[in-house]
Structure 1
């Protein structure tokens, strides 16, 4: 299904279409699913019908999160039935994600490329980069919604603390309180659609305007790393603020050099330099190598004295990052770190 056309049409009439979903208490996935559908031309002016009445749902062009049916040929996208266990991977074996889909994930799987193309006014035939954005938005936005709605934890065992400000939690807070008179769930649902939609659009634009252009910079830096360090263990970026971590990990995998780059030096927004350990996987707080323990928590002159390197600014107490006033100083800190790890 990964080859579905970008111009897939589900309903040709723009003014009379209906999107059905359940009434009462709403969640992040149904609010987001409805917002996503309304980004498509055929549903842009669609009426949202919130009901559990099967006769009313039968009049809708598309139904999400209610009805007990998943059948894309009939535009039915519920995930609550006992027999439902679909994931991105089960529907498209080229995708790695095995989190059970919610109604948002189902809509995104079937229409996500079209939605992104509409949002970005994508006139290019460049399907490869569109697919990269599609994947990143799922991995870093939609999958979380799917997992939370289906009760799938990020970890095993007892959590050390509770995250209560994620998107799903904020949507839940838009439901009327139990003791509020004249409860207006529909007004809250409209706010939930707006909230989830704004964050979805922000993610799409981030990956298009900020993340995607950074890839070429990181690729060039990977290819030039031997000029920085003859072992190829240090990568240099001369443009501050460039998102590099997931690009580096992807490029290493593509080039068959996974784990080769241990440290990255780069400018910060004020013109100073940073040296930072590369995480083994995206999102990890671990590093392939850490700056020397005896430097950690020191600053300025004390750090320069301890390291015998001029211009030192700081080293974080965990050792994952440090700073220097100059490129030469940051590179020297990186080289000393590799030597300390016998690399």
Structure 2
């Protein structure tokens, strides 16, 4: 019985090789390399930084160089004339190499991180969320897409974004640094981008997504037990609800009835609050503010004016109020709805 030759053993265990360009690096390819290393195929991959086509042709996958985008050939560049690839799903920002790798491998990366199947509905939800809050800005910055389409001059500029911090890791114009040192700085940049990506993904998977699920559950329970119209939503624990509520209403994932008041326990005082839902996530205007005759009142004065014991306060604008009990806060919302 013949043994496997050392050469065949090396072929079986040989690492995949990721290729990207050498020299000055940017946030998109630094993140693209990190993301690829979160996949099963490229988890232990080596890296070659070069612009030599003959060397790139030996790589298993190439990002941000080569002037070719072809998934079947594992080529993911975005600099060539005529490149217009976007994520889709309502996103119209042209992809950088980070966006390209995320488009094709992002769901697998998220499933691997959460240790769930790639076809789990949570994966696509988080995939789209992470593109919106993390990847899209990197794509836009790398492609030179202005954040202000009408050339509005900002009052100030921020240079602490991830793309800027990666840029600062490059040698300064008057620094003499050899190629090996630049490659080491690229690996530092890749780790920086990847750590932030994974930290953000962990937050959305472990905090943002559970809040969304709890809100859906609370909406359904409130319609069954509190207000069948859906205008009053009772939360039995504090959670960040605003962003989720507007998204759920816009996508039709909850019934079309529009929420007016949210009742929830105060985070610190052990009391309860009723908050009027704003007309939009960023608006200070409420869909229906708490009654004008209660606004600015506190304690016994509020209890007397509203006829509800346990009054604490109603904000002068009527967007929020407080009561010592859940029943009192619910009553504030119910009476306000009728006025």
So what's the TM-score if we normalise by structure 2? 0.79
Q: Which residue of 2 aligns with 1:152?
A: 145
SS of match in other structure, 1:232: coil
Tell me which residue corresponds to 1:3.
none
Q: Distance in 2 between matches of 1:75 and 1:105?
A: 14
1:78 corresponds in structure 2 to: 77
Could you tell me which of 124, 140, 148 is aligned with 1:131?
124
Post-superposition offset of 1:329: 4.6
Q: Alignment partner for residue 178 of structure 1, among 173, 177, 186?
A: 173
Alignment of 1:1-343 (within 5 A): 15-89=14-88, 95-122=89-116, 124=117, 127-156=120-149, 157-182=152-177, 184-226=181-223, 227-229=225-227, 231-240=229-238, 242-252=239-249, 253-255=251-253, 257-258=255-256, 260-270=258-268, 271-279=270-278, 284-285=282-283, 288-289=286-287, 291=289, 304=302, 310-312=310-312, 315=315, 321=320, 323-335=322-334, 338=337
Deviates more, 1:289-298 or 1:166-175: 289-298
Q: CA deviation at 1:76?
A: 0.8
Question: Following TM superposition, by how much is the alpha carbon of 1:99 offset from its aligned partner in structure 2, in angstroms?
Answer: 1.3
Aligned residues, how many? 320
The CA RMSD measured in Å over matched residues stands at 3.3
Q: Distance in 2 between matches of 1:135 and 1:78?
A: 22
Q: Secondary structure at the match of 1:36?
A: helix
| Counterparts of 1:334 and 1:102, CA distance in 2 | 48
How far is the alpha carbon of 1:14 from its aligned partner?
6.0
Contact (CA 8 Å) 1:277, 1:287: kept in 2 or not?
Answer: no
- With over 3 angstroms needed to count, the CA separation of the structure-2 counterparts of 1:224 and 1:73, relative to structure 1, is same
| Shift of residue 285, structure 1, vs aligned partner | 4.2
**Residues 19 and 62 in structure 1, CA contact (< 8 A), matched pair in contact too:** yes
Label 1:202 to 1:82 Cα distance change in 2 as closer, same or farther (>3 A).
same
Q: Tell me the CA shift for residue 105 of structure 1.
A: 0.8
- Offset of residue 82 of structure 1: 2.1
Q: Is the 8 A contact 1:225 1:233 kept in 2?
A: no
Q: Distance in 1 between matches of 2:63 and 2:217?
A: 44
**Number of the residue aligned with 1:8:** none
- When structure 1 is superposed on structure 2, of 98-107 and 131-140 the one drifting more is 131-140
Deviations 1:216-254 (A, max 9, x none): 3212221233443464322111112x2333432343332
- Bigger Rg, structure 1 or 2: 2
Measured in 2, the distance between the counterparts of 1:318 and 1:23 equals 57
TM-score (normalizing by structure 1):
0.79
CA distance in 2, matches of 1:262, 1:232: 8
Secondary structure of residue in 2 paired with 1:264: strand
Instruction: Give the CA deviation at 1:182.
Output: 2.5
Distance 1:202 1:302, change over 3 A: farther
